[in-house]
């Protein structure tokens, strides 16, 4: 009997038949295992875990997020929302997840500035979450205040005129007359002094009280430093600038007043939290830079 005939004769031993049966058994086992893997209850591929309301390409939509979204979107407690409202929210969240996944497939974060900004903000929020949640103790607040007490004062208020002339001699004469007590308007008229135009409001010279930070924004450093030293009714020495010789006349000056810890407690709390956030953010960037491979072009500063 030939080997081929022996394969189909159960009364005859056949190595070929044995190998064939073993192969068929292996294939059948793999098929059963595969079916069980993709259809068995409790597997992620075929069922939704208890903490989720849906699975989108193996990414869960959490029940907590779904309930929060329903309450926010319809302004009702979740228990009072209707089946129709819940269906709408779920479909919206599924659509959103699909769009997010598609954006990642397209590598949208690499070139869209809005997406990049959102990612940066999200990472920073995640990194500083513990800092935001932690409440500073009373001792920490007082220690921070003691170390930075010069920051905490009321904002100074100024009402001043910035006058300018092209002639240093005229400027010196005007300063002398103002210090002698002559009226500002008369001195301006006598010496043809003009306002510099730095303080304007609705096309006219602004003669209202201004917070010190607003004055700082309008004057360059030499003029602002001169203004800070003036009391009400005083005039500065002539100050030479590119557009002429300036003299500052302080109509009224209410100086900044230091605040106690109790008065500035809210600002101290905010400043301490911001400092802690900044420290955590910088530490995270140092860590990320430390494990990154960064190459900078030779013609750019390192």
Tell me the per-residue pLDDT of 155-204, one tens digit each, with 9 for 90 and over: 899 999 999 999 999 999 999 999 999 999 999 999 999 999 999 888 88
Residue 77 has pLDDT above 80, yes or no: yes
pTM (2 d.p.): 0.56
Four-CA torsion 104, 105, 110, 114, nearest 10 degrees: -50
| Segment 207-237, tens digit of pLDDT | 899 999 999 999 999 999 999 999 999 999 9
The share of the chain scoring above pLDDT 70, in percent, equals 84
For the purposes of burial, counting CB atoms within 10 Å of the CB of 209, is it exposed (0-12), middle (13-18) or buried (19 or more)? middle
Q: What is the rounded average pLDDT for all residues in the chain?
A: 87
pLDDT of residue 261: 96
Q: What is the pLDDT of residues 127-138, one digit of tens each?
A: 898 888 889 999
Residue 223 is given by DSSP the state: H
Q: CB neighbours (10 Å) of residue 1?
A: 9
Beta bridge partners of 62: 52
As a whole number, mean pLDDT of residues 26-35 equals: 63
Read off the DSSP letter of residue 153.
Answer: B
- Let me know: does 78 contact 70? Beta carbons within 8 Å: yes
279-302 tens-digit pLDDT: 999 999 999 989 998 888 888 876
- pLDDT at position 301 is 76
For residue 4, give the H/E element and its range.
helix 3-7
- In the predicted structure, residue 42 carries a pLDDT above the cut 90: no
Share of the chain above pLDDT 90, in %: 69
Residue 10 has pLDDT above 80, yes or no: no
**pLDDT of amino acid 177:** 96
Q: What is the pLDDT of residue 29?
A: 64
Question: Is pLDDT above 50 for 15?
Answer: yes
Binned at pLDDT 50, 70 and 90, residue 73 comes out as very high
Question: Where does the pLDDT of residue 262 fall: very low under 50, low under 70, confident under 90, or very high at 90 and above?
Answer: very high
């Amino acid at each position: 009997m030939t080997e081929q005939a022996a394969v189909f004769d159960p009364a005859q031993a056949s190595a070929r038949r044995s190998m064939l049966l073993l192969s068929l058994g292996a294939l059948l086992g793999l098929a059963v295992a595969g079916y069980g893997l993709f259809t068995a209850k409790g597997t992620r591929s075929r069922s939704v875990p208890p903490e989720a309301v849906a699975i989108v390409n193996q990414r869960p939509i959490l029940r907590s997020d779904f309930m929060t979204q329903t309450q926010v979107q319809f302004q009702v407690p979740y228990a009072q929302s209707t089946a129709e409202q819940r269906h709408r929210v779920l479909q919206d969240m599924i659509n959103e997840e699909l769009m997010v996944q598609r954006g990642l497939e397209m590598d949208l974060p690499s070139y869209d500035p809005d997406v990049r900004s959102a990612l940066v903000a999200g990472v920073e929020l995640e990194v500083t979450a513990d800092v935001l949640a932690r409440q500073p103790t009373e001792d920490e607040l007082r220690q921070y205040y003691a170390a930075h007490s010069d920051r905490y004062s009321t904002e100074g208020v100024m009402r001043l005129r910035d006058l300018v002339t092209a002639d240093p001699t005229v400027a010196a004469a005007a300063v002398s007359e103002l210090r002698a007590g002559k009226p500002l308007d008369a001195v301006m008229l006598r010496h043809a002094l003009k306002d510099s135009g730095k303080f304007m409001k609705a096309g006219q010279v602004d003669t209202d009280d201004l917070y010190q930070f607003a004055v700082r924004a309008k004057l360059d450093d030499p003029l602002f430093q001169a203004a800070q030293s003036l009391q009400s009714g005083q005039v500065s020495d002539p100050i030479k600038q590119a557009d002429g010789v300036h003299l500052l006349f302080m109509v009224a000056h209410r100086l900044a007043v230091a605040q106690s810890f109790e008065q500035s407690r809210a600002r101290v709390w905010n400043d301490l939290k911001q400092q802690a956030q900044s420290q955590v953010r910088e530490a995270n960037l140092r860590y990320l830079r430390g494990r990154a491979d960064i190459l900078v072009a030779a013609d750019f500063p390192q």
